[in-house]
Structure 1
Amino acid sequence: MLRRLADSPTDDVAAHLFEVLDVRLDELPPETRALVRSMLTAPEATRAMKSFLDERVVNLARGSGDGDAELRAALTVSSILGHTVARHFLELDALADISEPQIESVLRPWLTAALVDDTALPPAPDPRPRTQP
């Protein structure tokens, strides 16, 4: 049964995402490895993964008053997928030996960063180079 995140306080959403992250940090079950491995080459696996992730996005975004809630949820869900692929399939060195302090100080805040409505923050600087007159 899916946990309804929108019915939970914000701290519960973060706690749930941290639980998901903890699962993805551990060794993946064989059926999950097989699905992730084949999701880009087998149409049935693609549909199954897309359906699963779309459901997670809707569940995570549900109830948020933020106009970008679905996009924020999709960024969070796809980030977890990317982390899973990079750690378990590509075996990136920097992700191989993540310590508990790194999980607490870097990984967990990163995971929830996309869910924060930062409209109160000043706009990001224009990335285009300035030309001198």
Structure 2
Amino acid sequence: MQSYLDEVIRPRLQPLKAETVAPEAIVDYLLGLHGAFHNLSSMPASNGCLLINAAGAPIARDPQVSRLIADYRTELHDAIAQGIRAHHSTRSAAGEPQLADAVTNLVVAAFALARIDSAQAAQSIETAVRLFTGGDATSSHS
């Protein structure tokens, strides 16, 4: 699981965790997930996320595994929150914590759904993008 975090998850989150996060980084991250869920041969569409899958398996009862999954969710949330702050740099910060919670939860839900319904997983990502762009989730970079 640690290898998965280091080799798969963290490289994808890196643009959201950079010292200076580009305003479009959060949209790029979500659109990348959206595209992956539409590509049925991609790892996210065919397998979901190892850590999210493990959360629903008996192995999650192991304290070390449980901590790793909880830490991943926190890391994901913090990266998404940074991306949202960069995207909304000219707007008020009011509501950003709730928006970060909602977007994070939609990403987690998408990964949980991916193995059984990748189209619904992609829809969850579209909803996440619309929450802060207010526009077309698959092409907006506003």
Matched, 1:12 2:29: no
Higher RCO (C-alpha 8 Å, min separation 6): 2
> Percent of pairs identical after alignment?
7
C-alpha contact (below 8 Å) 2:15/2:22 kept by paired residues: no
How far apart in 2 are the matches of 1:114 and 1:74? 11
Post-superposition CA distance 1:14-66 (Å, at most 9, x none): 11112234445422279547534337533322221221121121122127242
For residues 10-49 of structure 1, what are the structure 2 equivalents within 5 Å? 11-23=24-36, 25-28=44-47, 31-32=50-51, 35-38=54-57, 40-49=60-69
Measured at CA, do residues 42 and 21 of structure 1 come closer, stay the same or move farther in structure 2, by a change above 3 Å?
A: farther
The residue type equivalent to 1:4 in the other structure is L
Q: How many pairs were matched up?
A: 105
Computing the radius of gyration from Cα coordinates, the structure with the larger value is 1
How far apart in 1 are the matches of 2:131 and 2:76? 15
How far apart in 2 are the matches of 1:85 and 1:108? 12
The residue type equivalent to 1:48 in the other structure is L
1:50 corresponding residue in structure 2: 70
Specify every segment of 5 or more residues in structure 2 that has no aligned partner in the other structure, as ranges. Answer: 1-10, 38-43, 86-91, 135-142
RMSD (Å), alpha carbons: 3.4
Q: Which stretch has the larger CA shift, 49-58 or 78-87? A: 78-87
Post-superposition CA distance 1:66-124 (Å, at most 9, x none): 23223211211111211222332xx3xxx25x39xxx5xx555312133358xxxxxxx
TM-score of the superposed pair, with normalisation by structure 1: 0.56
How far apart in 2 are the matches of 1:107 and 1:30? 15
2:79 corresponding residue in structure 1: 59
1:87 corresponding residue in structure 2: 114
Measured at CA, do residues 34 and 108 of structure 1 come closer, stay the same or move farther in structure 2, by a change above 3 Å?
A: closer
How far apart in 1 are the matches of 2:77 and 2:49? 24
1:131 corresponding residue in structure 2: none
Task: Give the number of the structure whose residues are more often helix, by fraction.
Answer: 2
What SS is found at the alignment partner of 1:67?
Answer: coil
TM-score of the superposed pair, with normalisation by structure 2: 0.54
